[in-house]
Amino acid sequence: MATDILTAPTIVGTATRTRVYKNFIDGEWVEASTGETFEDRNPADTREVVGIFQKSAKADVDAAVDAAKRAFSKWRLVPAPRRAEIVYRAAEMLIERKEEYSRDMTREMGKILKETRGDVQEAIDTAYYMAGEGRRMFGPTTPSELPNKFAMAVRQPLGVCGLITPWNFPMAIPSWKLLPAIICGNTCVIKPAQDTPLSTFNFVRTLTDAGVPRGVINIVTGFGGRVGSPMTEHPDIRAISLTGSTDVGRTVGTTAAKTFKHCSLELGGKNPMIVLDDANLDLAIEGGLWGGFGTTGQRCTATSRIIVQKGVYSEFVERYVERAKTLRVGNGLDETIEMGPAINAGQLQTDLGYVEIGRSEGAKLKCGGNRLDKGDYQHGFFMEPTVFIDVDPKMRIAQEEIFGPVVSIIACENLEHAIEIANNIQYGLSSSLYTRDVNKAFAAMRDLQAGITYVNAPTIGAEVHLPFGGVKATGNGHREGGIGAIDFYTEWKSVYVDYSDRLQKAQIDRPE
Ligand code: UN1
């Protein structure tokens, strides 16, 4: 059973010694107030302990917030272009460290090297992009309605930001939050996911080496209830940004509202890819495999529903399933592997549980569905790429976020019907359409209820300078990436300068 693997003895002192990582508060490495630690294990081979991290509690959050508050009084006054130079330098350093950090990430998260390199690259892209923002941070200057009066709006930092990040993009998503936050002059306390803290340490170490001053970024590791909750409740944290499940988002949003924090929630998805009769099927099949099984299906943007028009349904299903069966599953450090393990025992159990749910709902299991636990697989959380066909859009496997390598294929009559199926869901993160018909493409771009729509590409692959986020239960209206991030981490201040040397009354002093 998976839980046995979790309690397997730690191999320490053979090839490498397991390193103990402390919290990073005010530029110092400090132990948690609890004196407790937890292990970060490799999901492809749970005998390997990647690192030992601090199991923190409220007192550690309080210390980190105090440090961040002190640092804020100076950091906010550093000119934004100077802050940006540090971030730019970090981007250059990350390029040099990319291979090392990608390997660390594959060891702690499981996704294949090609993808962890992409994850580190996404942090590099964000760093270059946000470094540029340091010389923009534009706000409006606009005419006053009164003579000899100047009007403009400037962006101001918020103060201490609390960042709660997930395990599936352990460097990219921290970069989406940390970099705009510090470019805007805020200071941060970050709680990385307990499954993947090392990548956050690698990222923050690089920022520190590049010159981010002490206290500007603080890391507190641990679990949601003991670290995330005190952050969300802390009166001195002025903004919370969470990427996580819709359930956790609801709790975080409700709690953050009590102290009037800015709150950005990036939550679940159940992303549809529509394939119309006129689509380039080769392209759609490759896209659907990448979108469905890339990152072992563990992306908020994963292509978890494929809605195929009836004229190409049989051919698509047959060819898609044939290809899914041949995907090479294994340890992502092996360059030939195409799909890694689930992140942990709980996630694997969820994935296998949904296979049972799909079967009992009457969907046809066309391939996969089993755990892989023999030979090289025995120490990891591996499972076969799984495809259900003839799925009814109302089934739970077509409605609920699984976050694993389980794809549901649904038949549709035409574009209208496909969009109805696509939209009839609580989530609205990403979406996609394969067609060669420009009229249909534009209709779908308008009508799909999602924060992101791809045409002739799967539902994954967002670029960092465009808004990232979703509608409905996927979020609360904020966007990461692009200028939306700068909007989230700043507050507008409108400034009026009256140089008339007399009292002028807006709305009242009007020429006859
Ligand atoms: C996620 O889906 O959890 O768009 C983040 C992508 C990546 C980020 C995904 N750039 O696929």
203 and 227 in a single domain? The answer is yes
User: Ligand 1 centroid vs 30 CA: distance in angstroms?
Assistant: 32
User: Judging by beta carbons within 10 Å of its beta carbon (0-12, 13-18, 19+), is residue 342 exposed, middle or buried?
Assistant: buried
Q: Assign residue 484 the CATH number of its domain.
A: 3.40.605.10
| 404 lies in some domain | yes
pLDDT of residue 16: 57
DSSP β-bridge partners for residue 40: 51
353 and 281 in a single domain? The answer is yes
| 379 lies in some domain | yes
DSSP β-bridge partners for residue 411: 308
pLDDT of residue 344: 98
316 and 203 in a single domain? The answer is no
User: Ligand 1 centroid vs 460 CA: distance in angstroms?
Assistant: 6
The percent of residues in the chain predicted with pLDDT above 90, rounded, is: 96
| 98 lies in some domain | yes
Q: How would you classify the pairing of strands 490-498 and 149-157? A: antiparallel
pLDDT of residue 511: 81
User: Ligand 1 centroid vs 324 CA: distance in angstroms?
Assistant: 21
pLDDT of residue 252: 98
pLDDT of residue 3: 32
CB of residue 467 inside a 6 A radius of ligand 1: no
CB-CB contact of 433 with 444 (8 Å): yes
Helices marked H in 211-361 — which ranges?
A: 229-233, 246-258, 281-293, 310-326, 345-361
255 and 198 in a single domain? The answer is yes
Report the atom number in ligand 1 closest to the C-alpha of 168: 3
Helices marked H in 76-112 — which ranges?
A: 80-109
Cα separation, 106 vs 443, whole angstroms: 40
| 503 lies in some domain | no
322 and 211 in a single domain? The answer is no
CB of residue 132 inside a 6 A radius of ligand 1: no
254 and 287 in a single domain? The answer is no
| 113 lies in some domain | yes
Helices marked H in 310-369 — which ranges?
A: 310-326, 345-361
pLDDT of residue 341: 98
149 and 233 in a single domain? The answer is yes
| 439 lies in some domain | yes
Cα separation, 254 vs 11, whole angstroms: 43
Q: Residue 200 belongs to what domain range? A: 26-267+475-493
CB of residue 32 inside a 6 A radius of ligand 1: no
CB of residue 169 inside a 6 A radius of ligand 1: yes
pLDDT of residue 9: 34
CB of residue 299 inside a 6 A radius of ligand 1: yes
pLDDT of residue 1: 31
Pick from 120, 165, 301 the residue to mutate for probing ligand 1's pocket: most ligand atoms within 8 Å of its CB. 301
| 285 lies in some domain | yes
User: Ligand 1 centroid vs 300 CA: distance in angstroms?
Assistant: 7
| 445 lies in some domain | yes
320 and 233 in a single domain? The answer is no
255 and 317 in a single domain? The answer is no
CB of residue 464 inside a 6 A radius of ligand 1: no
Cα separation, 298 vs 303, whole angstroms: 10
Report the atom number in ligand 1 closest to the C-alpha of 462: 4
pLDDT of residue 26: 98
SS3 171: coil
- Nearest Cα residue to 252 out of 364, 374, 164: 164
Report, as ranges of residue numbers, the positions in the chain whose pLDDT lies below 50: 1-15
363 and 278 in a single domain? The answer is yes
375 and 484 in a single domain? The answer is no
226 and 87 in a single domain? The answer is yes
Q: Assign residue 450 the CATH number of its domain.
A: 3.40.309.10
Please count the structural domains in the chain: 2
CB of residue 300 inside a 6 A radius of ligand 1: yes
User: Ligand 1 centroid vs 299 CA: distance in angstroms?
Assistant: 6
SS3 432: strand
Which active-site residues does the annotation give? Answer: 266, 300
pTM of the shown model: 0.95
